[in-house]
A = this chain, B = another copy of it.
Amino acid sequence: MNVSIINIGDELLIGQVVNTNASWMASCLNENGMRVAHVFTIADNADEITRTLRLALVSSDAVLITGGLGPTKDDITKHTLCRFFSSHLVMHEPSLDNVRQIFAKRNYPMTPLNEAQAMVPAACTALLNKWGTAPGMWFEYEGKTIVSLPGVPAEMQGLMREEVVPRLRESFALEHIYHKNVWTFGIGESFLSDKIESWELALPENIHLAYLPQDGMVRLRLSAYGNRLDELEKQVDTEVEKLKSIVGEYIFGYDDDTLESVVGTLFSKHGKTLATAESCTGGNIARLITSVSGASAYYMGGVVAYANNAKEQLLGVQHTTLEQYGAVSRQTAEEMAIGAKCRFGTDYAVATTGIAGPTGGTPDKPVGTVWIAVADEYGVEARCFSFGADRARTVQRASYQALRWLQIKLE
């Protein structure tokens, strides 16, 4: 089943806004077994909308339109679709109630313009927008479907999830799909692909595998197609178990997991506490850990010891260690981790010290060299990594590597 997407908005054509709606919609449709044939990005202009809609209908079973629905843009999409269907606007009472409630809650006075947002062409089925004021609109046209949605991402996403996708799946009698995402870290896409080649080749025909590399990780997405959801789930779980026996050491989570969330869950579960001591990562590990709501239960805090003096004063790194081995060394990393563990009185501490660049590299310790240390009740360990010449990337990779190491320690 082919879908085309039309994103309407002058702001997209001047490059002010990145078209994240297109990728979100494409990904959502793809996960639900629909193929996106084209994405058209066009201006807020009635003729353009009509022309592009006609064009999209030629090669698609459904056309999804976003944007041009707000009160300030004079609802250009709505009026254009109304003319396209030779229809007239009628009030959609549930949407009017919804607009009224939103205004009452915010204590804003309602204008006739706001009321008009609840009007829709008589030719459509209105889709109640629980996330905003403008309803979605569902049209049937010569055996095809045309859907118009607001351009505000949260409203579009809510309507897609709860209204549009279920209706499209039903209309086009699509098979069930069950997805499972497997997150790996520490192995490149091509190495991973080599390692799991025979498993991949032996996958049942109704299971598709996608490699989705992202921020130095590779996400594997298994998608099973069939008529019984419970069977698909069992089938995928069996394959994931096989996968774990081959590359389990690289797998850190599933579906919505992130490295910071799985680490957080482990610390909570074991009732352990954590501190950080960062030099080259400059607070990024702390930021990731504290981005998880509830982190205060296990994360006591950290030191960003950028200057050598701070490493000595706040973490108790020996002056002689810094002189003898340098700030970027196993010894300094270990003393930083031990220092953080003692000063914050935690069960674990992780430390980083390295050369983020672009300057400061030497032949011995080129830009991208990072020592990471983890201290726990049994002692302290350190390892050296090379993350390459890009400053931001080195900070990111070193931070993820530190979190991954903590996860392995706690598992």
Contact = CB atoms under 8 A, between A and B. Distances in A.
Interface in A333-387: 343-345, 356-359
Interface in A16-32: 16-20, 22-30
Interface stretch (A77-85, A118-126, A136-144, A305-313): A305-313
Contacts of A299: 306-307
Contact-residue size bin, chain A (C-beta under 8 Å from the other chain): 35 or more
A15 B40 contact: no
A303 B303 CA distance: 4
Given A299-B306, A301-B314, A307-B344, 7 more contacts: A14-B210, A15-B26, A276-B283, A283-B304, A291-B391, A293-B357, A309-B344
Contact of A304 (B26, B35, B290, B356): B290
B23 A17 contact: yes
Interface of A: 12-20, 22-30, 35-43, 55, 210, 212, 275-276, 278, 282-287, 289-291, 293-296, 299-307, 309-310, 313-314, 343-345, 356-359, 391-392, 395
Q: What's the dominant secondary structure at chain A's contact region?
A: mixed
A275 to B, nearest CB: 8
A23 B18 contact: yes
Contact of A12 (B26, B210, B395): B26
A344 B12 CA distance: 47
Contacts of A285: 283
A296 B291 contact: no
Given A15-B26, A15-B28, A39-B13, A303 B314 contact: yes
Contacts of A306: 290, 295-296, 299-302
B27 A391 contact: no
